[in-house]
Each structure stands twice: as structure tokens, then as C-alpha cells.
Amino acid sequence: MATLTPFFLFVIFSLFNPSTPSPVSLSVTPTVLAASGDPIRIQWSGISSPSKLDWLGIYSPPDSPHDHFIGYVFLSSSPTWLSGSGSISLPLVNLRSNYSFRIFQWAESEVDQHRMDQDHNPLPGTTHLLAESQRVRFGLTRGPEQIHLAFTDKEDEMRVMFLTEDGGGKQYVRFGERKNRLHEVVAASMARYEREDMCESPANGSIGWRDPGWIHDGVMTNLKKGVRYYYQVGSDSGGWSSTHSFMSRNWDSDETIAFLFGDMGTTTPYSTFIRTQEESIATMKWILRDIETLGDKPAFVSHIGDISYARGYAWLWDHFFTQIEPVASKVAYHVCIGNHEYNWPSQPWRPMWSQRIYGTDGGGECGVPYSLKFNMPGNSSEPTGTQAPDTRNLYYSFGMGAVHFVYMSTETNFLPGSKQYNFLKHDLESVDRKKTPFVVVQGHRPMYTTSNEYGDAPLRERMLEHLEPLFVKNKVTLALWGHVHRYERFCPVNNFTCGSMEQNGEDWEAFPVHVVIGMGGQDWQPIWEPRPDHPNDPIFPQPKSSLYRGGEFGYTRLVATKEKLTLSYVGNHDGEVHDMVEILSSGQVVSGHEADVADHALVHSTFSWYVKGASVLVLGAFIGYVLGFVSRARKEAAMRNSWTPMKTEDI
């Protein structure tokens, strides 16, 4: 009887509540979109007793069950919601299936505290459907999407990867030095992965899994050095992309330029099951500014792990690649693996000491989307131990101008005796320092950090024991890490001891400078250390070896000539340089002392060429996808309601 009562009351209530049968109208325009990022306008009217929790569910495919929305927006984010009608604009990303929208009524009393998203916000209730929209689709012959470039092992090549809905037709890359004469044509190979390749939920579940489409991979060959090439991807039957261009690699150029960061993620114009990273918009915006400003100088991007933060929710990968395309279609986009691409409880290499380090952060993806959606140089791979394709893009290196760049995996075996250790040792020992005086090593989890991050301590111990001696012996210039969502620059260091940075005398040591650059977009995290005796008064100890710590989101910019390498930290709030370090080819650190850093005059004079006239250039097509006002609406909608996102230590 007790369980029947609410139902009974509901029926009686419905019979006597005149608002129940009121027709709510819901319409969408347009219903055919040309490309990812194009907005639709959703309008509704006729809600007779609006609740501030009424919400719009976003469905793809359109026949998904009510609780399998990919995201939602509160109707109260429209200023006119109290009148029972309103409208919302949403840019949509092509998920290779149609979309539909549904409006549900939801009340505070129906909030189910047991169905929470990752931010501990209750997932909206689907009991009272008010209206369903017509379907929205993406037009045919639009050409492939999610275009991104990468270097290969050959200096005169450029790889381009892209996505199509079906594998029906062979895809091609056509390219050339003149925009209207793309006479060179290469066929792309294609691959896909299946639901059964995912290791766990949410990645293999009905909510997280979506068909990933077909991934195409073409290599443009015989490129001249340092020349602008134009290209298109697609096919006559399936349509061609718009024309993009890039500067080909110039392996003996005088200047090497790269934009480096970790932990960026992506964002959606709606709330979804897990937290997304709105700051990624600003990170891409400023890097695009820098690339536009560079003109005909080649550069590349380095994103060192925790890439899309999809964690098993497939559509977030689509958002990520749509969001980076304005950058990644112009310069090579290089990656290494992070915990959020990979970790799952039965991952093949999981020694006793790492049990608490390698958890479930990959959301059941177990490295499969990462391995197929990117194709980095080298041929490193590890079996997944399941039917899924091997994990690739683990460790590799390439030279560019004055710098030898090395990428490693902190998620798979790096201990002496492993393939990775042998690769790192051999690679570091065989760099010709006359040709590339600088060596930059990058990996996801830091060897050095002073954040309150005890969990990874056993891993750091092993990195310090086994990798640091390799780095020191082979005079690694810079070691860049992510995972901690901050910027932190250390002194040239060995075994926690700073090498001398004496500027005038000869008394200096060429130790690696470690920098944590995980400030690309995922939520800020505190560095404080709780004290047992004063739990409410955390302290912020900054040891002598840590020279600069910043909580500002942003990225780093590396500029190197044969004589000098400069790494600067650009903050997203103003696009300006907030810290920098300069290292000579001898290994001597010539600036980046605490005192120098405060000297903004130096910072500005060195980098003014970057900023000149640049800010106007970025307000183009990208802003169309920037979602600014929509995400603000989402934030405000979230704020108007009684819960606020809780910060978990999700790194």
C-alpha cells in the first residue's frame, strides 16, 4: 500500500490538475545543418506552470530512451522562461546520427539524490515528458570532419587524419603549393573500433557508447622544407572538406616554435554526465592567435596527456576534435597518453605499488579511442590484453630545428628492462647535440611537483630512481609534465637539489629544468597541504627548488634557436606572458631566476612580436564554435539552482 500511495495521488492530481493536458510546442530551426559547430534555435511555448528545473534533453540518436540524453539545458537559462515560452541556441557537433530534443517537467521534490553526475549534481528526472521536437540532421556531401595533422618519422611528410560517418568510399588527401592546384593525391587508410573493444562502462554502456565513425589516415609525402601547402580531404562521392593549409616541417630551420600544455579537455554547450573544461576554449583561442601571428613560420602543438577527458562518453571526443580543428588543421598536434585516456583496473602493467595509482580514470576506453584517433611517430605499442587493438602512441621522438623532442608514457612500463626504458635510453644517448643542442622530454605524470598530490608518490619515486639519472647523464634541457593542473617551474634540478644558476662565473651545472604544464583547461586544483594540527588552515609550502607556481589556465610557448631556448607561460586571462625561462645550448640557465621573472620589461621586449596586432585575428570562424554565451547560460543556469559543482580531486 505504501508504495502505491504516491502513484494513486499522482493519478488523482493529474485528473484534477488542469495544466497537465496543455499542449507544449517545441520547434527547432533549421532541421538540416551543414557542418559541426553550426547552431540551431530551439523554441518552446505553452508551459503553463513553469518550474525552474524544467529542462531540455538533447538526444542522439533521436530514438534513445528518455534517460539516455547526451546532455541537457535548463529552460530557465532563457530569460523569458517564467512566461512558459522561450528559446535557446545551441551549436551542434555532428555525431553521425540525427538529433532530437525533448522537454521534461521536473520539480525540486523529484530530485533523486542517488542519480548523480560526476559533479554530484542530480541527473534530471524523465518522468514528465512535455514535448518532443522534430529531428535535426547533418546534410550529405559535407565532406569529412575533425581534421588534424601530425608529423611522421620522415621529415618530408605530414600526416592528416579525419573522420567520416561511413566507410563506404575510399577517402583521399589532395594537396599542393597553390590553393587552386591541389594536384598531388594520396589515398587514406581507414580504421574504426567497436563497442566490444571498450573495456568497461561507461565506454561500453548504452549511455556512453556511440558509433565512432570511420577514422581516415593519409600521409602527404615528398614535401619541400618550410613551404606552405594547401590541402583538402574527402572524395568525389562523399564530398570534400574546405581547403586548409600548413607550413611543412623545416628540420634545419633556425627557429623552433611549439605550444605545449597538458590536461586541456573540451566543452559542450550543455551539461552532460561528467564535467567538461570550458577553459579549453581560451587555450585554443590564444594558441590560434599565436599561429596566425607566426605567418609562414612552422610550429606544432604538444598536448601531453589527458586529452579530451571523454572518459567513456563518446561524444566528448567529437567535441574535442571539432574544437581543436582550427588549430590542428594548421599545425601538427602531438600527444602522449594520460591516465584519462587509459587507466582501467585490468590494464596489463599494474605492479603492486601502482594499484592505487592506475585506477578507472579511462572510463573504460582503455586507450582505444586514443590509439586509433591519433597516429604518432614511432611504432611503440602494448597489447591491451583484451580483443581491443594494441595501445599505440606511447613513446616516440622527433627533431625539429634546434630541439629534439621526446614523448613518453607514464601509464605503461618505463622501468629498466622495459621496451620503453630501452627506447628512452637509446634515444637520449643518440641525439646529435651539435645538430639539436636542446632535448625536451615530455610525459603526463610529473617527476617533480609541489602540489598536494600524495597519491602518485610511489610512481614519482620510480621515475626519480630510474629516469632522472638518464635525464641528468644525457643533459636533458627541459622535462615537461602534466597531470597537476597548474604551472610550476623548478630550478635546474637533480635529486631535489638545485644546480647552481650562477650567471657570471663558471659555477653552473646543466641539470634538467622541470616544468609542470597541466594548466591547459581541466579544473584548477589546490596546492595546499593540510596540517594535522590545523586542518582548517592549510599552508602553501614552496620549497626552494620551486621557482614559480601559477594557478592561471594557459599554455607554454617554446621558441628555440641554436643558441637559446625560451619557454614562456601564457595566461588565458590576458594572453600575456607570466613566467619564462631561458636556457643556452651549453645547458646554462641564464634567466628565470625569481628576480628576473618579476621583470616584466624583459618579458615584454622578448615577446612583443607575438602580440603585435594579433588579437584581432582570432575572432573568425572559431568564435562561432566558441560557445561563449551558451556556456555562460549553462553556468548561470547551474548557479540559479541550489547546487554548485563540487571540486573533486579529478586529475
Ligand X SMILES: *[C@@H]1O[C@H](CO)[C@@H](O)[C@H](O)[C@H]1NC(C)=O
- Taking the complex as a whole, how short is the minimal distance between the CB of residue 258 and ligand X, in angstroms? 22
192 or 462: whose CB is closer to Fe ion? 462
169 or 205: whose CB is closer to ligand X? 205
- Taking the complex as a whole, how short is the minimal distance between the CB of residue 495 and ligand X, in angstroms? 4
Strands 32-33 and 137-138: parallel
Spatial CA neighbour of 334 closest among 362, 372, 303, 298: 303
**Torsion sign (Cα): 635, 341, 203, 216:** positive
What is the rounded distance in angstroms from the CA atom of residue 516 to the CA atom of residue 443? Answer: 10
Q: Which does 243 bind (CB under 5 to 8 A by kind): ligand X, Fe ion, none?
A: none
- Whether the Cβ atoms of residue 373 and residue 214 lie closer than 8 Å to each other: no
- Taking the complex as a whole, how short is the minimal distance between the CB of residue 91 and ligand X, in angstroms? 19
Separation of CA 29 from chain center: 30
- Taking the complex as a whole, how short is the minimal distance between the CB of residue 200 and ligand X, in angstroms? 5
What is the rounded distance in angstroms from the CA atom of residue 410 to the CA atom of residue 358? Answer: 10
54 or 263: whose CB is closer to Fe ion? 263
- The kind and range of the H/E element at 186 are strand 184-187
202 or 298: whose CB is closer to ligand X? 202
Quote helix, strand, coil % in the chain, to nearest 5. 20, 30, 50
137 or 604: whose CB is closer to ligand X? 137
Query: Which residues are near ligand X by CB under 6 A?
Result: 97-98, 135, 137, 199-201, 204-205, 379, 495
494 or 561: whose CB is closer to ligand X? 494
What is the rounded distance in angstroms from the CA atom of residue 105 to the CA atom of residue 17? Answer: 14
Q: Which does 306 bind (CB under 5 to 8 A by kind): ligand X, Fe ion, none?
A: Fe ion
- Taking the complex as a whole, how short is the minimal distance between the CB of residue 486 and Fe ion, in angstroms? 12
Q: Which does 205 bind (CB under 5 to 8 A by kind): Fe ion, ligand X, none?
A: ligand X
Site of grid cell 551543414: 34
Q: Write the DSSP string, 501-525.
A: B-SSSS-B--PPEEEEE--SSS---
Q: Which does 244 bind (CB under 5 to 8 A by kind): ligand X, Fe ion, none?
A: none
- Whether the Cβ atoms of residue 60 and residue 97 lie closer than 8 Å to each other: yes
Please report whether residue 269 would count as binding Fe ion according to CB under 5 A: no
Q: Which does 341 bind (CB under 5 to 8 A by kind): Fe ion, ligand X, none?
A: none
- Whether the Cβ atoms of residue 546 and residue 515 lie closer than 8 Å to each other: no
Please report whether residue 265 would count as binding Fe ion according to CB under 5 A: no
50 or 205: whose CB is closer to ligand X? 205
Residues near 429 by beta carbon (within 8 Å), at least 6 away in sequence: 474
Q: Which does 338 bind (CB under 5 to 8 A by kind): Fe ion, ligand X, none?
A: Fe ion
Please report whether residue 446 would count as binding Fe ion according to CB under 5 A: no
61 preceded by cis ω (within 30°)? yes
Binding part of the chain for Fe ion, among 22-30, 247-255, 337-345, 385-393 by CB under 5 A, reads 337-345
306 or 365: whose CB is closer to Fe ion? 306
- Contact positions with Fe ion (CB under 5 A) in 467-486: 483
378 or 538: whose CB is closer to ligand X? 378
Spatial CA neighbour of 385 closest among 344, 351, 341: 344
Pick from 265, 338, 437, 520 the residue near Fe ion by CB under 5 A: 338
Please report whether residue 159 would count as binding Fe ion according to CB under 5 A: no
30 preceded by cis ω (within 30°)? yes
Binding part of the chain for Fe ion, among 138-146, 303-311, 490-498, 544-552 by CB under 5 A, reads 303-311
What residue ranges bind Fe ion (CB under 5 A)? 306, 338-339, 483, 651
